[in-house]
Structures are given as structure tokens and as C-alpha cells.
Amino acid sequence: MPARHRFRRVVRLGPVQVGTAYDSRGREKHTAACTAPRCGFCADYDSRAAAELAARTHRCPVR
């Protein structure tokens, strides 16, 4: 496995962190990942707005 992405502009919205990284093709991608133990929510989005929206609307099952 190659090294994991380095995230920039990381913000926290509730339990979910949103960060921007470059994928293997040098394109920006935006990841929303929940920090709650045992939740496991993590998804990639094409736009920062979409990732932040997903973070805000995430309903954590382990809260």
C-alpha cells in the first residue's frame, strides 16, 4: 500500500473531520471521516462542499 494521503485544511464538524488531500493522480479529493470509536464512517467526495455537508448531516450511530 502506498502512503496514506496527507490531509490539509482539516476541520472538525461535530464528530466528523473533513480534510482535503491529493489522490494518486494529483487531483484534489475531499474526505469526511468520523472520529467516534466503532463508527467507521469515512467517505470521499469530489467537492469540499459535499464533504462538509456529509459531515454536518452525519448521524453517528455510536453517539
Residues near Zn ion, by CB under 5 A: 34, 36, 39, 41, 60
27 or 59: CB nearest Zn ion: 59
Question: Looking at beta carbons only, is 21 or 36 nearer to Zn ion?
Answer: 36
Beta pairing class for 42-45 and 28-34: antiparallel
Minimum distance between the CB of residue 24 and Zn ion, rounded to whole angstroms? 27
Nearer to Zn ion, 18 or 34 (CB): 34
